[in-house]
Amino acid sequence: MLDKTTGIAKAACYVRQTLRLMVGVPPYSTYVTHMKNTHPDQPVMSYQEFFRERQEARYGGNGKVTRCC
Amino acid sequence: MSHLFNKLGWFALAATGAFAFAFIALHLGESIGAIWIVVATVCVYTIAYRFYSQFISRRVLRVDPIRMTPAYKFNDGLDYVPTNKYVLFGHHFAAIAGAGPLVGPILAAQMGYMPGMLWLLAGVVFAGAVQDFIVLFISTRRDGRSLGDLIKSELGQVPGMIALFGTFFIMLILLAVLALIVVKALAESPWGTFTVAATIPIALFMGVYARFIRPGAIGEVSMVGFALLMMSIVAGQYVQEIPALAALFTLTGEQLTWLLIAYGFIASVLPIWLLLAPRDYLSTFLKIGTIVGLAIGVIFISPELKMPAFTQFVDGSGPVWSGSLFPFLFITIACGAVSGFHSLISSGTTPKMIRNESDARFIGYGAMLMESFVAIMALVAASTIEPGVYFAMNSPAAIIGSTAESATQAISQWGFYVTPEMITQTARDVGEHTIISRTGGAPTLAVGMAQILSDVVGGRSMMAFWYHFAILFEALFILTAVDAGTRAGRFMLQDLLGTFIPSMKRTDSIVASLIATAICVAGWGYFLYQGVIDPLGGINTLWPLFGIANQMLAGIALILCTCVLFKMKRDRFAWVTIVPATWVIVCTLTAAWQKIFDANPRIGFLAHANTYKEALADGTLLAPAKSLGQMQQVIFNDYVNTSLTCLFMLVLLSMLVFGVRTVLRARGAGGPTAKEAPFELLPAEAAPGT
């Protein structure tokens, strides 16, 4: 029973992650873990800063084409 | 033992597919259920994925599961993030699927469902999915670099610049044709215009909400936005019924064109978080949801295909678009079979997030198969409409007139059964004043979808809702593309112009950005306006131009793939990309040649210009021109289209020359000359299966 609910929770988590990545936002927790592990000396962006940075990267330009016809 | 079962399983699948094809072939003269098409296509996709993509992965590319990927090498938690392959598949699919695979097959249905279906299957298996997969692989091995960069490093600086230049013009044509689809769908339709206009304040509200009230709450803000969208569809019906409001939202094609041009300019200079980002959330989620809904409808309802397998219009005399099956079918259906645009996505964000090279097969080849399936569903949706009604919706007014009676008369002469009542009843069912000459594909898809979806939810009384839902869904992501495309075009232009005028390169300069944006908007706005006033419906001119441009880019991408295979010393397997490259190049060049030089003024730009010139010499006026000045304008437009088509041919031919040169050099070299990132070992935690 427990297995089943954790299975569903895991699947829901993946669905959520997929939908967020579709609009260009990777998991914030992965970013934080990455910064703590590899760059402990550097400041970590807050979620709000992270979100804005990602928006800017997806739509901000430099000629990147992020979608098709 | 399990090996035997495995073989038996694949044999059974192949037999099922063959049976479905045999069933379709034996029932060519009668209507069949869509489920047969679905079974046949899914079998083809599965077998192609299992065998052909595995062959490409293992033997042709020799994908290396222990080789370093950009996601680990440059891991920053932002652009470069090792991502689960199913999650990344979703990301990649959402980026490649758009209006293209939905519109092309609908236009192609004028030749019957069979030519479109066969090209979608053969094209995706041997060309489209191969291109997407190999470009993704190439980019992954080269630190996730973009198509332009890849061409520069593998073929040389000049071909890189040429490709960039070509891409900019594709962008202009793409935006013009997409905007034309919206104009055609919304003209004289207060319900549709109101709901699409309502998306602007809804998106602005969402933008402020996700910026200041609940920063970054994408899911929450999208739910709120979705609820508001549904309310706007319902409200649209009341707008249509109140005369004063209906008059306000009843706009002609020309009025809508100017509004769209103004919108494109304003939207692309506003801050991204205000309008573009929230609109993108809505359109992305709505797109995925609608595709899933349509798949459920097609599979469970299995609507009957009323369009014949072949119509007499395979000879090129069709009213929707002109030109014979070869080469025009192969440029009319681009996305869904092979789309050059995908090479920009496959060398965009996806290669930066791929965990392991071996995932490239599932993501690159697999996502393209899925897009092809979306195109098949669009073809099914168009084919479920009574053929007489389909032609009433898709033929220009210059051919069938503008009343139900004149349309019935013209279409009956072609041998399709239709009555004026059928046409007016369909219009009533979907809550519109008229459905005659609603060209562009979107309204046809909307009628098809409304029929299928109303069978699932709501019945006939919900048809008008589903019709406007489908129109909204298409308009929403087209407007997002117009906004994002204008921005992307502006940066491309600044980059290109910057080579000659250094001050134009400064993207932080307001003047430089405004000038570049204005040039972009004027560029696509020009083609859009030309399409809207065209009595043959505009699609007849613009869609082939778009198809030629898109397949030109596919040709370029496949040339790149071929060069890389030779540089990797995989000469034996280079046919994998040479065959599709040759086909795409032959189709594109033939179509471009006919678009310029064909003697039929419905096909050839020069012949069309001559008709107007002769009339001008006689002092007579030809529609749509109402003055001698406008006659001059039509002739001028024809020359612009001719020049643009010439340009596409030249770009493709020069890339071919550079490609052949690269291949000859690679064959002369003693060892591999591909410019891959040096080999590094992938961290142990990234091994496949983890």
Give tens-digit pLDDT for B560-570.
999 999 999 99
**Cα–Cα distance measured from residue B636 to residue B644, given in angstroms and rounded to the nearest whole number:** 12
- Which of A22, A59, A60 has its CB closest to that of B94? A22
User: Whole-model pTM?
Assistant: 0.96
The predicted structure's pLDDT at residue A17: 95
* pLDDT grade for B690, boundaries at 50, 70 and 90: very low
- Which of B76, B90, B99 has its CB closest to that of A69? B99
Contacts of B98 in chain A (CB under 8 A): 67-69
- Residue B660 CB neighbour total at 10 angstroms: 13
Nearest CA in chain A to B371: A68
Are B345 and A30 inside 8 Å of each other by CB?
A: no
B77 inside 8 A of chain A by CB: yes
- Residues B108-136, mean pLDDT to the nearest whole number: 97
Contacts of B95 in chain A (CB under 8 A): 22, 66-68
Are A35 and B77 inside 8 Å of each other by CB?
A: yes
**Cα–Cα distance measured from residue B390 to residue A43, given in angstroms and rounded to the nearest whole number:** 60
Distance of CA A56 to the CA centre of its chain: 14
Query: Omega into B327 within 30° of 0, i.e. cis?
Result: yes
Contacts of A23 in chain B (CB under 8 A): 218, 277, 280-281, 284
Nearest CA in chain A to B270: A60
B2 class by beta-carbon count within 10 Å (0-12 exposed, 13-18 middle, 19+ buried): exposed
Q: Say which amino acid occupies B86.
A: Y
- Residue B529 CB neighbour total at 10 angstroms: 22
* pLDDT grade for B688, boundaries at 50, 70 and 90: low
Contacts of A66 in chain B (CB under 8 A): 95, 345, 348-349, 484
Sign of CA dihedral B49, B52, B53, B58: positive
Beta bridge partners of B33: B304
Note the pLDDT tens digit of each residue in B415-463.
Answer: 999 999 999 999 999 999 999 999 999 999 999 999 999 988 878 889 9
Are B215 and A47 inside 8 Å of each other by CB?
A: yes
* pLDDT grade for B689, boundaries at 50, 70 and 90: low
- Which of B78, B87, B277 has its CB closest to that of A17? B87
B272 inside 8 A of chain A by CB: yes
Q: Which of B284-293, B355-364, B618-627 has the least mean pLDDT?
A: B618-627
B406 class by beta-carbon count within 10 Å (0-12 exposed, 13-18 middle, 19+ buried): middle
Note the pLDDT tens digit of each residue in B278-309.
Answer: 999 999 999 999 999 999 999 999 999 999 99
**Cα–Cα distance measured from residue A57 to residue B134, given in angstroms and rounded to the nearest whole number:** 25
B94 inside 8 A of chain A by CB: yes
**Cα–Cα distance measured from residue B457 to residue B568, given in angstroms and rounded to the nearest whole number:** 54
Contacts of B495 in chain A (CB under 8 A): 63
CB B175, CB B98: distance < 8 Å: no
**Cα–Cα distance measured from residue B36 to residue B16, given in angstroms and rounded to the nearest whole number:** 10
Are A60 and B272 inside 8 Å of each other by CB?
A: yes
Are B484 and A66 inside 8 Å of each other by CB?
A: yes
Q: Give the number of beta-carbon pairs within 8 Å between A and B.
A: 134
Contacts of B218 in chain A (CB under 8 A): 20, 23, 25
| Cβ-Cβ contacts under 8 Å for B444 (sequence gap 6 or more) | B106, B381, B382, B385, B390, B393, B394, B438
Are A63 and B488 inside 8 Å of each other by CB?
A: yes
At B347, phi and psi to the nearest 5? -115, 30
**Cα–Cα distance measured from residue B147 to residue B320, given in angstroms and rounded to the nearest whole number:** 34
- Residues B676-685, mean pLDDT to the nearest whole number: 91
Nearest CA in chain A to B484: A59
CA of B670 to nearest chain A CA: how many angstroms apart?
37
CB B589, CB B652: distance < 8 Å: yes
At B241, phi and psi to the nearest 5? -85, -20
- Give me chain B's average pLDDT, please: 94
Task: Inform me whether the pLDDT recorded for B514 exceeds 70.
Answer: yes
**Cα–Cα distance measured from residue B421 to residue B609, given in angstroms and rounded to the nearest whole number:** 39
B216 inside 8 A of chain A by CB: yes
Are B97 and A68 inside 8 Å of each other by CB?
A: yes
Nearest CA in chain A to B87: A18
The predicted structure's pLDDT at residue A69: 63
Contacts of A32 in chain B (CB under 8 A): 77
The predicted structure's pLDDT at residue B407: 96
- Which of B76, B88, B339 has its CB closest to that of A68? B339
Interface of A with B in 14-53 (CB under 8 A): 14, 16-27, 30-35, 38, 47-48, 50-53
If you average pLDDT over each of A49-63, B289-303, B357-371, which comes out highest?
A: B357-371
B257 inside 8 A of chain A by CB: no
B486 inside 8 A of chain A by CB: no
Give B239-248 contacts, CB < 8 A, sequence gap 24+. B239/B190, B239/B191, B239/B194, B240/B190, B240/B191, B240/B194, B240/B431, B245/B190, B245/B194, B246/B190, B247/B190, B248/B190
The predicted structure's pLDDT at residue B201: 97
Contacts of B76 in chain A (CB under 8 A): 34
- How would DSSP label each residue in B239-282? HHHSHHHHHHH---HHHHHHHHHHHHHHHHHS-TTTTHHHHHHH
CA of A15 to nearest chain B CA: how many angstroms apart?
8
**Cα–Cα distance measured from residue B61 to residue B49, given in angstroms and rounded to the nearest whole number:** 15
Q: Which of B443, B445, B473, B469 is nearest to B458 (CA)?
A: B469
| Cβ-Cβ contacts under 8 Å for B606 (sequence gap 6 or more) | B596, B597, B638, B642
Residue owning tokens 């002469």: B413
Residue owning tokens 């962008």: B171
Q: Say which amino acid occupies B119.
A: W
B442-456 vs B157-186: helix crossing angle, rounded to 10: 60
Q: Which of B276, B251, B287, B324 is nearest to B445 (CA)?
A: B287
* pLDDT grade for B503, boundaries at 50, 70 and 90: confident
| Residue B28 or B210, more confident | B210
